[in-house]
Structure 1
Amino acid sequence: MDKDARDFINEYIASLPWLTIIESVNDTLVEDNYVGKIVIQSFKGDVEIMITIPQDFPLKGIQFMCIGITGYPHLMPNGLLCLNVAPAGNLAGELQEHFSKLRTWMMDYYESGKQDAHFEYYIFDADPKITFVFEEDGQKTRPAHCCGRFSYTSLRQQEISDERVWLVTGIGDTPSRFSATFMSFHQPTYEGLYFLLSRPPMINVNQGLTEYEDLLLLLTEEQKGYFFSTAASISIRSGYQTGCIVIVGYEIPSLQSGLQELRWEPFFISLQEYPLKRDPITDEIIVRPSSVSRIHWCKGINASYERMFGRGRLCSELTSSKILVMGVGAVGSQLAHSLVRGGCRYIDISDSDKIEPGNICRSAYTFVKTDIPKVQELFNQLVGISPHLEMQFNIAIEPILDSNKGYEKLKMYFSKYDFIFDCTTNKHLSIMLDGMQLPGRIINLSISNMARHMVVITGVSQIHVLKNRIYNKISPDKREPFYPETGCWSPTFEASNSDIAAPLHYVINELNYRLEKQLIIASFMIVREEMNHSLAYELTYDL
């Protein structure tokens, strides 16, 4: 930012009749910023505001720091205003947007006492190096008692820095509702203390308590006694050698309309500077004068199903159904990823292949996992994506005749699924599934060479017949088949990751739409065409 721009900024600020300049924006950079100060007159009391303008303004925004006031919406504990200014694209426009937002905040929130209809999390001065992940919503059962122990374990097997992220596995008599599959890798390891509060631990409308004395005012006599007598012993089971973790819970509005959920705030207590003692005269629990008086808050994150998938999940007909994906190569692995990220909670996978270097260009696998069974690696990936996913995998499901003694057992296995996505190229497996007359819906997904067509076949029988007929029509391809290596090996199709992903996501969206609208699910096809020097995808049910 040059001097002309700074002069223009000072002239603009001076032209605003509702504020007075105390210090003009100076010409000296302070940590890559230019700084000034203004005061805004108000019947409620004048407000001094420090203005910080980055040298890259208007590409970076102005910061307004209020001096001497707290407790208003959009005002951080350090005085910084959070105004969410939309970009204007030029210097004059950006100035107008920023100061217009500032004026609106002063009139609406400072002077008129406006409160937003939506709930915003309270602000705590939290240590970013200690994080606890909970799962809470309006339907979860509350702990039966007002105080007790909670269990937790490390979220990751190996931390990449000195920051620790912990997973809460249970609070009192209430276990976390993460899936049994996910929890099999996260057994409870450590313990801390929990306390249920009757109101939020707040100084004002948005700022959390900072002192132990204020926190003690929110605890019942029973809770104080438990806090004082138990913290030292619980440190033996703590994830920290020098202290223990305490969490306090209070009600906030839930994403589910009309319900309340618990919000948990964790903090760390050092045993060397234990903050509590019993008064020898009154026998009350008080703050130890020589201890650290400020609360060492940590970070809390809610990872409930609603929080993770509420903003972008598939319809309930998919998310609550039991799904089997057979064949987790180029199509099946991407399908499974999309279903899990769409909030599906019950998915099993099956495939007999191991990961090959040639798979990497168009599937969900990585080179370092070469020669590992695909289902094993995909299982690890998907459980790592969603802690709410129940999943099992099978190395292989081979087709057998109905006269085989294992036929009925296999049929019973398939019958438990609401959807079976057959992404294999095994025609005999498709024939067997046709003949079983299963109660769930079978959806056969396949792709033609160069990803010109993605074919979706469904129905109660003759899927393989219709599929053969379609491919005889669309793929009289004279291209030489692609062989992944020399020797006796099966040819495969050519297509990149994006070639497959584009029609596959179209397919998922179409199926999701029809299920959500309770429309008939019929066979269809996605066709890629070149039109006016660009690619287009057409969906057709005319097969």
Structure 2
Amino acid sequence: MMDRRLNLIQQIFSELNGISIEIPFSSDSEFNIIGKIKVQIESTEEYLSFDVKIYPEYPLKRMEHESITFSNKDYMLYGHVMGDGSICRHTSHQTDLKKKIEIDINSLKRWIWKYYLNKDNDNHYEHLILQPKEFKENHFSFLFTEVDYTFNKNQFGFFEYSQINNGLYYDKVIFNHVIQEFRDSSFTKVSECKWSSAVKQLPHKNIGIYVFLDNPPARMGKFIINNWADLESLVSNDAFTFLYGVQKNNSKLKGNPIPFLIGYSISEKEIHWQVAILEIGKFPIESYKEDKVWKGGFVDEDITWGITKNCSYDYFFGRGKLAEKITKSKILIIGVGAIGSMVATTFARCGCTSIDVVDHDIKEPENVCRSEYSFLTGICNKPDDLSNELFSISPFIDVGIINAAMFHVDTKVSQGLINSTHDLQRRLLHYDIIIDCSTDNDLLYILSKLELNRYITLSITNNAKELVCSVEPNSYNWVMNQYENVLDNELEDVHNPNGCWNPTFKASYNDINTLVQFAIKHINLKMLDDSKSLRNFVLKTNVEDIFSIKLDEF
């Protein structure tokens, strides 16, 4: 079988236009097929040579990577060449061996034309290529954000960081951390990362060290320096003195790791940090005398690079977020049961940074199946549990918990005793958007009379056949009319648990979330375009033959 595959690949390559086989293909001990080819540069007599390696998965992908490589370390100065000399390519799916080889060869020819001949440079920044290494069998990661501070050349000092959850990085343990604050060499605070208050308040802050360079620690402009000695020319003598002092003052912690951040500019406005893991007592530094002056330097030793990620807001939500009219708003969510918790987690994942929640209810185990709560947190107040969920989603969100008893007094008790909502309206104008998911008709009656910035209600009928959304002022009568006269809200077939309990509507997480996400999508599209007005609407499902959702605006 292997011989047949080998012979077929040899034959396909031999028949390709502009390709000649320099070293015949053969198989190695790991069932890879290896060989060497020459590719003619179009309209010339010049050829480029490439070592070819075809993995057993081919023509299928190898995990998320291409399962065929073309490499030559002589071309590493050109764009899109990796540290091992392989050409970086991404090609289309194809299961036919011959067609897939043709696709891959054409992609190689495109690389030759674009990067070898034209010497193109991509407009977007490419981070330095590195391979993270283990320190004592473990990996380390450090997450950071942009800061409101400009670092100077050869500036050095300390930084504070907090540990978050550990995990597995492939088959090794990884210790994950968030960088909190930067301090100078005298330990005076100079800047801090732009996390939410919840992240800033993480306990057990640890200390690392940093140096900011004038130039990236790179070779060939794209590969990170892997030996300390090659980094020496970029670091000032004062920084070496600082490193020597740090090690001396922490001699009791000999053998422990300490992160060493190396920073550099990647654009006029953006810097990047790369972390190396040092061992206290074995810093890769030395001192020597030159012209009767003691100087410091790095020893000839490999660098143990860790993992860093810029998690600034624009990177974190770079793949997509809601309209800024939503994400930059101060939001109050009233009622965080099934609908309200889904709205809250969606907003957290889509870029919102300021959400307050209010609910008097307790999260029970049976709530978990159709809301955004976790079983292992047990029985507790819904707002407290949900706030922890939101903190775990976004490092930029601040969540406020409104006292449910006081909210009840401010709304219904005040309405009943003094028939006045002036103070309530004044307090609620603090919010740009209020989303009422409580399905409390009394509250709807009170709040719909107020002049609020934007008051939205979301509710669903039994079995999640419809979702009703009011967005316009004085919508109480419209909502009540939908439920009492328009929609077929069957209240006989409801869920009645054992014990003294208010019956609840029937619907699964999938039923509810399908409608909630549809509603949020519609609201978001309207708020993206100033020329479009957001009006009351109803989502109606049709489960006959093919499931569908119809949106009716009013």
Q: Does the alignment reach a TM-score above 0.5?
A: yes
Deviation of 1:116 after TM superposition, in Å, equals 1.6
Q: Is the 1:192–1:234 contact (alpha carbons within 8 Å) kept by the matching residues of 2?
A: no
Indicate yes or no: 2:168 matched with 1:169. Answer: no
2:230 to 214, 226, 229: 214
Question: Residue 477 and residue 249 in structure 1: after superposition, are their counterparts in 2 closer, same or farther (change >3 A)?
Answer: closer
Letter in 1 for 2:32: N
Tell me the distance in 1 between the aligned counterparts of 2:17 and 2:500.
84
Tell me the distance in 2 between the aligned counterparts of 1:317 and 1:127.
43
The aligned residue for residue 59 of structure 2 is 58
Unaligned runs of 5+ in 2: 62-66, 184-189
Tell me the distance in 2 between the aligned counterparts of 1:215 and 1:177.
30
Question: Residue 340 and residue 525 in structure 1: after superposition, are their counterparts in 2 closer, same or farther (change >3 A)?
Answer: same
Tell me the distance in 2 between the aligned counterparts of 1:45 and 1:127.
39
Matches within 5 A, 1:119-134: 119-127=125-133, 129-134=139-144
SS class of match (2:512) = helix
Q: Which moved more, 1:322-331 or 1:518-527?
A: 518-527
Indicate yes or no: 2:127 matched with 1:116. Answer: no
The aligned residue for residue 400 of structure 1 is 413
Deviation of 1:375 after TM superposition, in Å, equals 1.4
Cα deviation digits, residues 260-308 of structure 1 (max 9, x gap)? 30110110122333222221344353446xx552222111111110001
Matches within 5 A, 1:221-260: 221-233=237-249, 241-253=255-267, 260=269
SS class of match (2:245) = helix
Letter in 2 for 1:49: F
Unaligned runs of 5+ in 1: 254-258
Letter in 1 for 2:199: F
Question: Residue 45 and residue 247 in structure 1: after superposition, are their counterparts in 2 closer, same or farther (change >3 A)?
Answer: farther
Indicate yes or no: 2:151 matched with 1:152. Answer: no
1:183 to 163, 177, 200: 200
Indicate yes or no: 2:384 matched with 1:376. Answer: yes
Q: Is the 1:47–1:66 contact (alpha carbons within 8 Å) kept by the matching residues of 2?
A: no
The aligned residue for residue 186 of structure 2 is none
Deviation of 1:74 after TM superposition, in Å, equals 1.7
Letter in 2 for 1:74: H
Cα deviation digits, residues 380-435 of structure 1 (max 9, x gap)? 11111110101112352323224469966654432211111100022222222234
1:104 to 110, 117, 120: 110
Cα deviation digits, residues 475-530 of structure 1 (max 9, x gap)? 44455242341233212111111111122112111111111112322211111124
Q: Is the 2:247–2:281 contact (alpha carbons within 8 Å) kept by the matching residues of 1?
A: no
Tell me the distance in 2 between the aligned counterparts of 1:493 and 1:516.
33
Cα deviation digits, residues 323-348 of structure 1 (max 9, x gap)? 01111111111111111111011111
The aligned residue for residue 276 of structure 2 is 267
Cα deviation digits, residues 423-459 of structure 1 (max 9, x gap)? 0022222222234x24321101000111111000123
Question: Residue 343 and residue 55 in structure 1: after superposition, are their counterparts in 2 closer, same or farther (change >3 A)?
Answer: same
The aligned residue for residue 201 of structure 1 is 217
Cα deviation digits, residues 157-197 of structure 1 (max 9, x gap)? x556631111100123111110113322x246111221111
2:330 to 322, 333, 336: 322
Q: Which moved more, 1:33-42 or 1:518-527?
A: 33-42
Q: Is the 1:197–1:218 contact (alpha carbons within 8 Å) kept by the matching residues of 2?
A: yes
The aligned residue for residue 430 of structure 2 is 416
Q: Which moved more, 1:405-414 or 1:510-519?
A: 405-414
Matches within 5 A, 1:67-82: 67-82=73-88
Letter in 2 for 1:118: H
Tell me the distance in 2 between the aligned counterparts of 1:100 and 1:235.
58
Letter in 2 for 1:512: N
Matches within 5 A, 1:302-313: 302-313=310-321
Relative to the length of structure 1, the TM-score reads: 0.89
SS class of match (2:413) = coil
* Percent identity (aligned): 25
Q: Is the 2:212–2:263 contact (alpha carbons within 8 Å) kept by the matching residues of 1?
A: yes
Q: Is the 1:25–1:36 contact (alpha carbons within 8 Å) kept by the matching residues of 2?
A: yes
Relative to the length of structure 2, the TM-score reads: 0.87
Tell me the distance in 2 between the aligned counterparts of 1:432 and 1:241.
65
Tell me the distance in 2 between the aligned counterparts of 1:231 and 1:74.
39
2:504 to 458, 483, 492: 492
Tell me the distance in 1 between the aligned counterparts of 2:80 and 2:250.
38
Letter in 2 for 1:275: P
SS class of match (2:289) = coil
Q: Is the 2:263–2:272 contact (alpha carbons within 8 Å) kept by the matching residues of 1?
A: yes
Report how many residues are paired: 525
Give the RMSD, CA atoms, in angstroms: 2.7
Q: Is the 1:234–1:244 contact (alpha carbons within 8 Å) kept by the matching residues of 2?
A: no
Tell me the distance in 2 between the aligned counterparts of 1:261 and 1:450.
51
Q: Is the 2:161–2:178 contact (alpha carbons within 8 Å) kept by the matching residues of 1?
A: yes
